[in-house]
Structure 1
């Protein structure tokens, strides 16, 4: 038998129409048991795929967020506040750093002032020590006074004072100065003469031994030798003189000299 299509313009059925017809056909065939017995496996799979595709939900459109003017203003205000807070924190950090630097400089200045004060005090103490005077033999009394007369002295009188000192007793410089004579001194035996820093001279006679040399600087209390009985001496003692020059005959009162320099005699 032959079939013919009526003449005229025809529009193909839409996909939805075709799918609906197919589904109707599948449904009718299924109800009749045709798919399970007469239909091919491919036809059954196509029908099931079509049903699953039609049952799948359509993709949801992307959400759109709309920000009104008041919310935008709030966000801007928060951003400005955060910016101001950051600037404030930075300014505070810089101020704190400056404060610490200033405190450090002050502490260093105070430490420097303290060191300088200590150094000044030490220099003053050293100057005082160097300017100080003391007895040539510690704790010893004068046994023969200045200008005492007698045949023991060629000039007819004592040109200095004698301090009691057993042989071997330490003899020290009464003040700071420089040794200008150290050796044998005739009637004085072993003797030392020191030019003092104030321009005067002191002499130490009858020593058993000498512990300094010419040109040596001495400080108050520095040991210059040991007492004895060398030279024109009747027994161990220290002969001490104060002079205006290094030469014999320029003597001055040694007791008054020591007292003028703060030494109790």
Structure 2
């Protein structure tokens, strides 16, 4: 006896078919992260009583959300790390720029300080040079009381080999220019005297001193005190006998007034 199936009557899919469909759905969800609902009428409209089955959809949804959360967290960590690295690089760049600017200012200050130091040294050298080349009067505020080449029997040569500057005993006597003392002591008719060789090769003599303040071989500067005026030697009263010479000895005299004037001293 043959059995036939009524027209329009469908059989319930086998368990193997349903399981395969569930697995395919889960695979799709896992790969795409998209949750889709399965509402297959063929599965729902069966002639069996409804029953709850584990389709795997809930597990797929949980897996998808967990993966997305982890990916999001990793992305946030990466963005935070990138921001920190960028901020650090920016700070380092600013620090380098600040250090370079500070160094530039310090270098400029050092350069200016060095230039100022050199300029001060140059000015000091120039002042020293001027001072060493300067000449002054042997007696401050004095005048010539007896002129050069004046005639008198008081001098063995018959004429005055220098000039006399008016000076009371105890007046300070100065070197007229820079040089080296070549004689300091008793000079016969000159009494206590000092002879100085100057840097230009000329000599000056200072006679009739009451005391001597320098010694032979000593260097002196313009205006330096070398002794005190007096009336030692062949004199009629206290004064300073001053000579200018081309050599250290008697007989090499030149006009002392012209000598001083040629070196800028007003007499």
Same fold (TM over 0.5): yes
Structure-1 separation of matches of 2:215 and 2:66: 109
Report how far residue 70 of structure 1 moved.
8.2
Q: What's the secondary structure of 2:91's corresponding residue?
A: helix
Aligned twin of 1:264: 266
Which residue of the other structure, out of 171, 174, 177, is the alignment partner of 2:176? 174
Aligned twin of 2:126: 124
Deviates most, 101-110 or 134-143? 101-110
**Superposition pairs for residues 150-229 of structure 1, below 5 Å?**
150-229=152-231
Structure-1 separation of matches of 2:74 and 2:231: 114
Report how far residue 85 of structure 1 moved.
2.6
Report how far residue 71 of structure 1 moved.
8.4
- Structure 1: gaps of 5 or more residues: 1-60
Q: What's the secondary structure of 2:204's corresponding residue?
A: strand
Report how far residue 138 of structure 1 moved.
0.6
Aligned twin of 2:98: 96
**How big is each residue's C-alpha offset from its partner over 1:32-80, in whole Å with a ceiling of 9 and x where there is no partner?**
xxxxxxxxxxxxxxxxxxxxxxxxxxxxx9x947339788767655543
Aligned residues: 205
Which residue of the other structure, out of 125, 131, 135, is the alignment partner of 1:133? 135
Report how far residue 220 of structure 1 moved.
1.1
Structure-2 separation of matches of 1:178 and 1:86: 72
**How big is each residue's C-alpha offset from its partner over 1:207-229, in whole Å with a ceiling of 9 and x where there is no partner?**
11111111111111111111111
Report how far residue 257 of structure 1 moved.
0.8
- Structure 2: gaps of 5 or more residues: 1-61
Structure-2 separation of matches of 1:203 and 1:226: 14
Aligned twin of 2:144: 142
* TM-score where L is the length of structure 1: 0.71
Structure-1 separation of matches of 2:122 and 2:225: 28
Structure-2 separation of matches of 1:77 and 1:184: 102
